[in-house]
Amino acid sequence: MTVSRRGFLGAGGLALAGASMISGRTQAAGLPEAPTMTEATMQPPLYPKSGPDYQPVVTLNGWTLPWRQNGDWKEFHLVAEPVVRELAPGMKAHLWGYNGQSPGPTIEAVEGDKVRIFVTNKLPENTAVHWHGQLLPNGMDGVGGLNQPHIPPGKTFVYEFILRKSGTFMYHPHSDEMVQMAMGMMGFFVVHPRDPAERRVDRDFVFLLNAFDIEAGSYVPRVNEMTDFNLWCWNSRVFPGIDHLVARQGDKVRIRFGNLTMTNHPIHMHGYDFKVTGTDGGWVPESAQWPEVSVDVAVGQMRAFEFVADVPGDWAIHCHKSHHTMNAMGHDVRTYIGVNMKKTAPALKKVAPGYMPMGGSGMGEMGSMEMPLPDNTLPMMTGYGQFGPIEMGGMFSVVKVRPDIAADDYKDPGWYKHPEGTVAYEWTGEKLAEPARGASPDSGVKATEFKAVDPRKRPVRAAKAGGHGNH
């Protein structure tokens, strides 16, 4: 039996039992399967086999958790455990996650569903799961010590609640939260409207924003870092390891993302303007939706935007904080712009054999340079397109719109074949006159004439006759 929209919304006083522990051989035998995932690329959407129809989401570099129908309950099984995640080819991280990956699998269900989520703890410490943004009984909210006992290592707890509204949500620990989230424990939770026609789109992409500080050559994040992260990720992946978002020309596309980093991110998409249609608080009414080309998402927030993919091409999508589109940044590296490094290189090579002078004319040269790196790290800028190095990293991907792909095809179609005459090109005609340039403003004051004066040591001047002593 399925709970109707009217029935479950009218059951505001319904309170299911608090999260409880499963123990004993007989009870454990009744657990649903806990599938695992070892692939680092986007898995096909999981279409519903029963119940209301909906367009399932696809998770960048992720997958959707299968469920078991048990009477009225849709049952899921999450396993909190250590995982190894490839951030991009050439670098792996030792993280904590769920069901073999960080982030964990996307949980996908329908408004009005009764969900039962088993959580097994295979971590070396306690854990608990908070269902971020869901409206549920207090005892299911997942704050260890406050709403429930912590889940000890080796034990399984059960969460049971009714999905009271559709929208975009997350799950993450609320038990040693700083460490466990810094280690990669998080996941997406999507609830579709009960009415299959409500807010229907043709393609629905989801990903989480997270960040790590992993020193070159190491594998485990520095969990005590607060601001100085060097790997800015979408679903624990960095460019060029982030999946492309593939759409058929004419499709209505939704992109949902949540922010579990330590700072905000203005997400910008090229080639389109879009409408912001959802927040973590719910759907934005059509009359209140606003147009953007960039949308900022603060810490702990969710955003969804929609557009019609009517212009084919390879369109960049990225965080607009420039340092967030780089990998493994060395924050203590000096700036050498304008310095002739060729003069200093011979002396430096005597101290550091193999030293390569770089940075005197900017950092773009790193995009095409091949140089030795420490084990298990990535260059700051990497990845190639059809015209050469893209000179990006971190939170960067590509929305690929094509007219000739199938409705359920998400495979990378390769690089866009531009119609003749539509690519920016080098001017090879008559040499242009040198444009006039004005001189920079100059006050005439030399830099050496400025001196820092400690006001506490300023000599006291005698007051002029007839004047005020404090002038």
Q: What is the residue-wise DSSP string for 155-189?
A: -EEEEEEE--S-EEEEEEE-SSHHHHHHTT--EEE
The mean per-residue pLDDT over the stretch 359-376 comes to 60
Strand ranges of the sheet holding 129-132, from the earlier edge strand across to the other edge: 107-110, 187-192, 167-173, 129-132
Cross-strand pairs, 291: 275
- The two beta strands, 73-88 and 91-98, are antiparallel
Residue 102 within any structural domain of the chain? yes
Looking at the predicted structure, is the pLDDT value of residue 204 above 60? yes
The mean per-residue pLDDT over the stretch 58-82 comes to 97
**Distance from C-alpha of 466 to C-alpha of 462, rounded to nearest angstrom:** 12
**Distance from C-alpha of 142 to C-alpha of 130, rounded to nearest angstrom:** 4
pLDDT of the residue at 275: 98
pLDDT of the residue at 137: 98
341 φ/ψ angles, rounded to the nearest 5 degrees? -70, -15
**Distance from C-alpha of 60 to C-alpha of 35, rounded to nearest angstrom:** 18
3-state secondary structure of 448: helix
Tokens of residue 161, six digits: 């609640």
Q: What is the residue-wise DSSP string for 222-239?
A: -TT-SS--SEEEETTB-B
Looking at the predicted structure, is the pLDDT value of residue 194 above 70? yes
Looking at the structure of the chain, the number of domains it has is: 1
The pLDDT confidence band at residue 24, using thresholds 50, 70 and 90, is very low
Other Cβ atoms closer than 10 A to 249? 15
**Distance from C-alpha of 128 to C-alpha of 172, rounded to nearest angstrom:** 8
**Distance from C-alpha of 424 to C-alpha of 422, rounded to nearest angstrom:** 7
CB 275 within 8 A of CB 306: yes
CB 99 within 8 A of CB 79: yes
**Distance from C-alpha of 420 to C-alpha of 381, rounded to nearest angstrom:** 30
28 φ/ψ angles, rounded to the nearest 5 degrees? -65, -30
Residue 454 within any structural domain of the chain? no
**Distance from C-alpha of 43 to C-alpha of 54, rounded to nearest angstrom:** 18
Residue 471 within any structural domain of the chain? no
**Distance from C-alpha of 44 to C-alpha of 448, rounded to nearest angstrom:** 65
Tokens of residue 366, six digits: 């790193």
157 φ/ψ angles, rounded to the nearest 5 degrees? -110, 160
CATH code, domain with 279: 2.60.40.420
The mean per-residue pLDDT over the stretch 277-287 comes to 95
Residue 433 within any structural domain of the chain? no
Residues 6+ apart with CB under 8 A from 115: 73, 74, 75, 76, 107, 109, 159, 160, 161, 162, 163
10 φ/ψ angles, rounded to the nearest 5 degrees? -80, -5
The pLDDT confidence band at residue 355, using thresholds 50, 70 and 90, is low
Average pLDDT, the chain: 87
Looking at the predicted structure, is the pLDDT value of residue 191 above 70? yes
446 against 9, higher pLDDT: 446
User: CA 42 from chain center: how many Å?
Assistant: 15
The boundaries of the domain holding residue 258 are 5-308
Looking at the predicted structure, is the pLDDT value of residue 240 above 80? yes
136, 164, 116: which is closest to 10 by C-alpha?
164
305 against 367, higher pLDDT: 305
The mean per-residue pLDDT over the stretch 139-156 comes to 98
Residue 343 within any structural domain of the chain? no
Residue 447 within any structural domain of the chain? no
Residue 457 within any structural domain of the chain? no
Q: Please report, as a single letter, which amino acid is at residue 53.
A: D
pLDDT of the residue at 304: 98
3-state secondary structure of 449: helix
The pLDDT confidence band at residue 425, using thresholds 50, 70 and 90, is very high
pLDDT of the residue at 464: 52
**Distance from C-alpha of 16 to C-alpha of 434, rounded to nearest angstrom:** 77
Residue 80 within any structural domain of the chain? yes
CB 114 within 8 A of CB 72: yes
Other Cβ atoms closer than 10 A to 437? 6
Label residue 93 exposed, middle or buried (CB < 10 Å: 0-12, 13-18, 19+).
buried
